[in-house]
Amino acid sequence: NYFDAQPPFQLGEAILSGSFSEGLFLYSSEPPDMDFMCVLKNITFSQEHQEDGNLQLREDTPFVYAFVTNNETQHLWACFFDEEDKQAGKHRLSSKKLKEKLRENYQKAGRIFRSYCNEKIDGVSEGAAVTIRKLKPYVSFFHSFSEIAKEILRQPINERCKINKKLFKQMRVDLLYKIIPSSDIVLSIYCEGWPSCALEWITRVRLWPDVSLVEKITHGGFHIIPKSSADGDFRLSFSGAETMLIKTLAPPQHKVMRAFKAVIKYSQNTWNPNEKEIISSYHLKTIAFWHFEKTSQESWTEDNLVHHLITLLEELAEALRIQSLPMYFMPKVNLFQDVDDPEVTMNLLEKISSLSHNYSAMSEAVNNKNTLKGIVFTQSERDNLANMFHNIREENLKKKEEGGDNLFTWYDFLVAICNPNICKSPFIRLLSQ
């Protein structure tokens, strides 16, 4: 609905990206990132376009300008060209106009999750994404869930189960808000081959990934996304390559990578705003990739996982100290080049260093098996639910003592399944066998 039925602004493919698709959200109390990379139809850049200069690539920046020289393609995309940069025979594609078109279509079509919750769209910025934010529900998921649970568990088992539809709808709305409070829609253009400015990644000596995976990734192409800077109107995106690398990680590597992200994200709750702005999920992913390159597969045993996590924290601290973090696919690009406040950097360095010395906490992070329950319910809410179930149990026991043995509720049935000896009813015990 956010793309046209007719050329040129048509959707070729939608790719789910971000921590949700990579499986890197499980150990974090933060909601997962859910990004949609929407690949435009009717336009691609070939290997020849790189060689001809239609994609102006440089080794020291991931930003590029994209020029269209084909007459048919020029005619098709004419309304998306930058009017201030006209050259004979070639026209520069405007990232801003592409994002404005997406925003315009969204406003016409309506919400992504249209039947579940209200949304708002951010204005067009220099960033790559058009961000869709869900509005916070006026009733909490915990309230809706607990009220529905009480209704169900107290209803007799031989009667039709009745659910408050209004509460149930509200519960769905808040659950969706908790799990996915916002989504980024990122437009992209597919490019064949591999960018000439990232050829070093193909040839450098390393322990990971192996040659066959490198070959598979480089043959899969790359994308450019509409993110502007002084160096270009688009940015190279290696999202597909990164996802492929993460999906081929050994389970211990994946486990440590998730724990690394969770430790930093949890620690960020105590950082001031200036410190939080310095480190992003992309920085953490980059640190992890570099670490995987120089460690042998034999070192990734259960006994060594805490050691690997501590090493990742130490390498992050060292990158901050020297203010240098080479981009994984283009090492001449320093991801920390804009970190220019020595005092804030030193404070952050000390906090990360102290984390790496807390062995017991790092061990707990590696072995943490929490999933989305930390997002859905807080600890206090889980405690309240436990108290609620206990109270319902006491109510049912009291009814039985008062001669209400014929009133079998769904709670009795669930208890009987878990432990038939607790339930006195022969009928319910028979059902549970």
- pLDDT, position 284: 96
Q: How crowded is the C-beta side of 426, counted as CA atoms within 13 Å?
A: 0
Cβ(311)–Cβ(291) under 8 Å? yes
Mind listing the pLDDT tens digit for each residue in 244-296? 999 999 999 999 999 999 899 888 888 888 888 899 999 999 999 999 999 99
- pLDDT, position 19: 64
- pLDDT, position 375: 47
**pLDDT per position in the chain (433 positions), as tens?**
789 999 999 999 998 876 666 666 543 445 556 678 999 999 999 999 988 889 988 889 999 999 999 999 999 999 999 987 777 778 999 999 999 998 888 878 765 554 445 555 555 555 655 666 555 655 566 677 777 777 777 777 666 666 677 776 666 666 655 656 667 888 999 999 999 999 999 999 999 999 999 999 999 999 999 988 888 889 999 999 999 999 999 999 999 999 999 899 888 888 888 888 899 999 999 999 999 999 999 999 999 999 999 999 999 999 999 999 999 999 999 999 988 888 999 999 999 999 988 888 888 888 876 544 454 556 676 677 667 776 777 776 677 666 555 555 656 555 554 444 444 444 334 434 4
Domain spans in the chain, listed from the N-terminal domain onward: 11-244, 249-432
- pLDDT, position 348: 93
CA angle 11/18/348 to nearest 5° reads: 140
CATH number assigned to the domain with residue range 249-432, chosen from the 4 options 3.60.15.10, 1.10.600.10, 1.10.3720.10, 1.10.1410.40: 1.10.1410.40
Which residue's entry shows tokens 């039925």? Answer: 5
C-alpha–C-alpha distance, residues 248 and 235, integer Å = 25
C-alpha–C-alpha distance, residues 202 and 47, integer Å = 16
- pLDDT, position 89: 78
- pLDDT, position 422: 44
- pLDDT, position 415: 55
- pLDDT, position 381: 67
Mind listing the pLDDT tens digit for each residue in 76-105? 999 999 987 777 778 999 999 999 998 888
